[in-house]
Amino acid sequence: MKTGDIGEFEFIKRLTGDCVINTSGIVRSIGDDAAVYDPEPGILQVLTTDLLAEDVHFTRKSISPGNLGYKSLAVNLSDIAAMGAEPRHAFVSIAIPNDISLEYMDEVYTGMKELARIHDTNILGGDTTSSRSGLVINIAVTGSAPSNNLLYRNAAREGDLVFVTGSLGDSRAGLHLILNDLPYTGDNEELYMAHVRPRPHVDEGLFLGGFDGVHAGIDISDGLSSDLGHIADESNRGFIIYADRIPVSDNLSRFCDNYGFDPVKYALEGGEDYVLAITIDPAKAEAIIEEYNKRFEYPLVHIGEITADTLHQLKEPRGELSDLLPGGWDHFKS
């Protein structure tokens, strides 16, 4: 069955069951001209939006509809996590080409709601329209946090230690499999999944935002070198990272061995990992690491420092320093 067969209102009704997970503060959800909710007094609101367009960000052949829905929300939740905030409400707008079935859209929403449920996030509204050039999904997500918890990009200080909350480069390896029609199975499966179903580090961001000693934060969407560059540039500082401290998974090491790639390059320039990079006051780092590692399975990994200059540098294991050009996503595309 096609979306056109049942009309917009039936379509909306079909997709919007189970959209409100946490009713606190919700005055009106889907079904009026606008959603109405009551922000908590004294708490700052954050708002982010991200758009995924078919044949630009994904192809229908390379990602299942369930994973597409999941990822569309995950990239937004990752931005909320990078602010140290708690996600609250999502607004989902979709443009649907007429060769997409109702069942396909059901699965997109199932994937989205699965992740929404994990993070207690409501879907409070949005818009639907037809599309003449591919499927487009735009999601906006609100979040909230006490003002002290917010992790801004411009808050890094000289001497801060730089940490990441997960391994890097897997997603780019997954994309390589997709772009080159390589098998997604066996050893490659987790790399593929890192690309099509990234886990947003929401709990990690919320936890880290609660410490005064955690200064700046960003999620790794464009690649570590670019994204750390944003923190350094916005803070008028530089950074130095140690090539041999950048965490890469066993899967990525094996993949790079097999295909002759450099795992550090993948980790630095890959993008779409959606782990967090944060900077911590060196005097408070030890206590924060201890608390963090008690709570989370994957430890905080110390990869470098914020420097007084404005250079972006990589230190090789043998000690030589090289300038890190903001590679990342655009670089891979060209």
Binding site for Mg ion (CB under 5 A): 79, 219, 221
Minimum distance of Mg ion from residue 257's CB (angstroms): 31
- Of the pair 30, 231, the CB lying nearest Mg ion is at 231
- Of the pair 66, 143, the CB lying nearest Mg ion is at 143
Minimum distance of Mg ion from residue 327's CB (angstroms): 17
Minimum distance of Mg ion from residue 48's CB (angstroms): 8
Beta-carbon contacts of 141 under 8 Å, excluding residues fewer than 6 positions away, are 47, 48, 49, 73, 76, 77, 79, 80, 87, 88, 89, 90, 91, 121
- Give the count of alpha carbons within 13 A of 163, CB side only: 27
Minimum distance of Mg ion from residue 79's CB (angstroms): 4
Tokens of 246: 């950048």
Nearest residue to 268 via CA among 203, 237, 232, 224: 224
Q: H or E element: which one contains 117? A: helix 102-118
Residue 115: C-alpha distances to residues 202, 316, 319 (Å):
11, 39, 43
- Of the pair 35, 81, the CB lying nearest Mg ion is at 81
Amino acid at 208: L
Minimum distance of Mg ion from residue 38's CB (angstroms): 27
- Of the pair 160, 219, the CB lying nearest Mg ion is at 219
Sheet holding 321-323, edge to edge: 214-219, 276-280, 161-164, 301-307, 238-242, 312-315, 321-323
Minimum distance of Mg ion from residue 98's CB (angstroms): 33
Report how far residue 306's alpha carbon sits from residue 10's, in angstroms, rounded to the nearest whole number.
54
- Of the pair 54, 227, the CB lying nearest Mg ion is at 227
